[in-house]
Amino acid sequence: MEFRFFYHFGRYLLMLKGMFSRPENMRMYWKEFMKQCVDIGFGSLGIVVIISLFLGAVTTVQTAYQLVSGFIPKSTIAQVVRDTLILELAPTMVCIVLGGVVGSKIASELGNMRISEQIDAQEIMGINTKAYLIGPKILAAIITIPALVIIAAFLGIFGGLEAGKMSGIISHEQFMQGLRASFDGYNVFFALSKAYTYSFIISSIPAYYGYNVTGGALEIGRASTTAVVVSCVLILFADYALAALLL
């Protein structure tokens, strides 16, 4: 089992190393990078909007449910919602969902290209396929996913604000007062550190599994599932490691 781990880890590192080479044509690489930014960033925007709004709403309702003491001001709910979203829910939950959405897309796209010999066709043309096919995906994920996490944090807080008002738990004024109270900018740095780490995991792990698929359609599906599972486990592991290191 451990040998299998080292085998995959070694190949993964070699794949990453293979990405660094002089681009054959910078314009084509830029075009591919922009395409991936649209696919990964804009393509995931819808799901990010939906889950972050609901995450914020649910956090508000459940925090209010747990704060039973009359001595705790209602604005505390907003503080809890804000910090929970920034520290954990926006980066981790959103990235776990993106691990499924983006990860399976990357793994199946590359897997299909491998099986149908499209990667071989590019290799024969003299293109470094690791640099051309994987590099722009990782770079696009590193640029767009932290942006999505920031959007998710804002929308989550907005969802919490509206849910609090609609359910009669907390007024807009109280919520805004809580949001402004004892805000720590370091939390945003921590959230972004997580987002950058996760975006690298979400893009590079599925790229590894997709790029190295052998077999047929069944193996593409299997690689896609494995990629998503491994990405999610690594996100949770990184979540704990970053919390232990940075907080």
Partner 1 sequence: MIELKNIRKSFGDKEILKDVSANMEPGKTNLIIGASGSGKTVLMKCMVGLIKVDSGTVLYNGQDFTAMDDVEKKPIRQEIGMLFQGSALFDSMTVEQNVMFPLDMFSTMSYKERRKRMQECLDRVELKDANKKFPAEISGGMKKRVGIARAIVLNPKYLFVDEPNSGLDPQTSLIIDKLIKDITVEYNITTVVNTHDMNTVMESGDHIIYMHQGKKQWEGSNEDIIFSEDKLLNDFIFASEFFQDIKEMRKMEIFRDKNWRAKQAGGGNK
Closest approach, Cβ 199 to partner 1, in A, equals: 23
Contacts of 60-63 with C-beta under 8 Å, sequence gap 24+, read 60/159, 60/160, 60/161, 60/163, 60/164, 60/167, 60/169, 60/170, 61/163, 61/164, 61/167, 61/169
Within 116-134, residue ranges assigned H as helices are: 118-125, 129
One character per residue 123-162, x = contact with partner 1 (rule: CB under 8 A): xxxxxx----------------------------------
**Ranges within 13-42 binding partner 1 (CB under 8 A):** 21, 24-25, 27-28
Closest approach, Cβ 174 to partner 1, in A, equals: 51
Q: Which is nearer to partner 1, 75 or 128 (CB)?
A: 128
Closest approach, Cβ 66 to partner 1, in A, equals: 49
Closest approach, Cβ 136 to partner 1, in A, equals: 13
**Ranges within 82-121 binding partner 1 (CB under 8 A):** 112-113, 116-118, 120-121
Contacts of 98 (CB under 8 A, 6+ apart): 44, 47, 48, 145, 148, 198, 202
- By CB under 8 A, tell whether 244 contacts partner 1: no
How far does the chain reach from its first CA to its final CA, in angstroms? 33
Contacts of 96 (CB under 8 A, 6+ apart): 232, 235, 236
Query: How many residues contact partner 1, by CB under 8 A?
Result: 18
Q: Which is nearer to partner 1, 109 or 239 (CB)?
A: 109
On whether the CB atoms of residues 239 and 140 are closer than 8 A, the answer is no
Name the site residues for partner 1 (rule: CB under 8 A): 21, 24-25, 27-28, 112-113, 116-118, 120-121, 123-128
